[in-house]
Structure 1
Amino acid sequence: MTDDSRPAPTFQGRLQLDSFMFNASAATVGPRRSPRLSTNSSTAARPPASSKISPARAITKRKASTQADDSVGADDDIGDISSPSSSSSTASRTKRPRQKSGYAPPSVYAHLPHLPDAIAPNLLIFFIGLNPGIQTARTGHAYAHPTNLFWRLLHSSGITPRLVSPTEDRQMPALYSLGLTNIVSRPSRNGAELSKAEMDAGVAILEEKVRRWRPEVVCVVGKSIWESMWRVRHGRAIKASEFRYGWQDEKENMGLVEGVVQKEEEKEEGVVYGADWKGARIFVATSTSGLAATLKPKEKEEIWKELGEWTVKRRAERAAATAAAVMVERN
């Protein structure tokens, strides 16, 4: 028996989907918009002008900040910049004024001691430096600043079989027949604080030291030292075409003073004062200071390597001569 009270079957469902279908006749022209945008744009709330930064202004601000950071050098006092919350710390950064490089009288560093020579008879090489730096004077050891390449170049070139510490500078004559002195004895921060007059005055003192101790070779550690020696010897500045690193002509040998005879009281024990001595040959090496950046480290090594090769050969010859002398004595 059928129940006629039930509705007829249909595919409409309870949601009446026909009411949700798109009706082209009722559609409005143009894109649909959100109801919240239908209000008048003039009445819409806008952020304050002061809080809005244009892209161009933002780029300019970033660029200015970068330039300020780049202007701060490694040795400049930039304060504590570890706290990102402090915006005033960046603005307060100021570049410490660089110290002007120029002549400084001896009174400026009169409180610093002078550095004694490391010298002895029968030296293979007598190194002539410019003058003691501040750290060298304070520590009392030659080429003591960590950026100075002197001790590293001695080792890499073969002049010393191992890396020597600045604290061993007084032992160099006994260890490796190497001596140390300077053309100017007083300390200064750099070579620019010395005058040409006091450098030139040191040349005669160097000549006397070489004539008295008679090393085989004098190594001039730096171009400016050789320029001063040339100026005194030749009465004029050296020309660019005349300067060269490495071995110099034998006519430039050091310690030979024409017409001067070594007095007995000026002679040092252990030094052989033969009449056939032709003076100490000069080798001009590069400056080893960390401030001297004219030549690249590789170029400096190549120049010093030439002196190192001679040193290794000459040291072997000396050792062979000593061994032969011992054999003669035994026989």
Structure 2
Amino acid sequence: MIKTELLKDHLTLLFVGFNPSPTSARTGWNYSGPNNRFYRILAEAGLTNRLFQPSENRLLFDEYNYGFTNLVARPTPRASDVTTAEYRKGAEQLRQTLLRYQPKFTCFVGKGVYQQFVRKQKIEWGFQSYAIEGIHTAFFVGPGTSGLVRMKLQEQVDIYRILALRMKNAR
């Protein structure tokens, strides 16, 4: 298994997923499933200036200052394969990661990821008012990008465009 986490101090944007897919764990490339729309959504929403391939995720880290982590490190075919205990442990580890690295923006890729982090059921898309003492990041919830998500691509792009615009205005 290859590590998929890319972290450094003061990231512009940290993407948080449920856990790595078997494909991502094998390659080390985040969101690398054949039907995952992550990189297409980033490009169309204006978070990148071109369409990147999963094998180029290191360029997002180096050139855009975008990082990657997951709530749970163990790869599984489906997020539903992760246990409640793993999510609870992962939520605490994520708090420590956010405290340590202090990203400017933190994007949860899927409502379920954020729900597991904050232990709330009712979540809306977009920026969240949730705050953690000592952590100075803007929390954003975007749709999952897996091909299993039953949302139209344009709807996903429109939600992520909100993040892109706020980031652009924050420069």
Mapped partners of 1:239, 1:145: distance in 2: 27
TM-score by length of 1: 0.49
CA deviation string 1:118-174 (max 9, x = no partner) = 112231111101111121122221111121011111111111111112112223222
The partner residue of 1:244 within 108, 121, 124 is: 124
Mapped partners of 1:124, 1:245: distance in 2: 20
Mapped partners of 2:121, 2:18: distance in 1: 21
Deviation at 1:253, TM superposition (A): 2.7
Deviation at 1:239, TM superposition (A): 4.1
Mapped partners of 1:292, 1:202: distance in 2: 23
Answer yes or no: is 1:154 the counterpart of 2:42: yes
Mapped partners of 1:194, 1:211: distance in 2: 24
Structure with bigger gyration radius: 1
Answer yes or no: is 1:290 the counterpart of 2:113: no
Structure 1 stretches lacking a partner, 5+ long: 1-112, 232-237, 258-277, 318-331
RMSD over aligned CA atoms reads 1.6
User: Partner residue of 1:116?
Assistant: 4
Provide the aligned length of Structure 1 versus Structure 2: 171
Mapped partners of 2:5, 2:99: distance in 1: 15
User: Partner residue of 2:159?
Assistant: 303
Residues 239 and 136 of structure 1: CA distance in aligned 2, closer, same or farther (over 3 Å): closer
Mapped partners of 2:21, 2:121: distance in 1: 28
Deviation at 1:116, TM superposition (A): 3.4
CA contact (8 A) 1:149 1:290 kept: yes
The partner residue of 1:179 within 61, 67, 72 is: 67
The amino acid across from 2:67 in the alignment is G
User: Partner residue of 1:253?
Assistant: 131
Match of 1:220, SS state, is: strand
Deviation at 1:187, TM superposition (A): 0.6
The partner residue of 2:100 within 199, 204, 212 is: 212
Match of 2:117, SS state, is: helix
The amino acid across from 1:201 in the alignment is K
Q: For residues 261-300 of structure 1, what are the structure 2 equivalents within 5 Å?
A: 279-293=136-150, 295-300=151-156
The partner residue of 2:114 within 216, 219, 226 is: 226
Q: For residues 136-151 of structure 1, what are the structure 2 equivalents within 5 Å?
A: 136-151=24-39
Structure 2 stretches lacking a partner, 5+ long: none
Q: For residues 128-143 of structure 1, what are the structure 2 equivalents within 5 Å?
A: 128-143=16-31
Identical counterparts, % of pairs:
30
Structure with higher RCO (Cα < 8 A, 6+ apart)? 2
CA deviation string 1:220-263 (max 9, x = no partner) = 111111111121xxxxxx243xx2110011xx134x35xxxxxx
CA contact (8 A) 2:15 2:69 kept: yes
CA contact (8 A) 2:2 2:27 kept: no
CA deviation string 1:258-290 (max 9, x = no partner) = xxxxxxxxxxxxxxxxxxxx6211001110111
CA contact (8 A) 2:9 2:100 kept: no
The amino acid across from 1:160 in the alignment is T
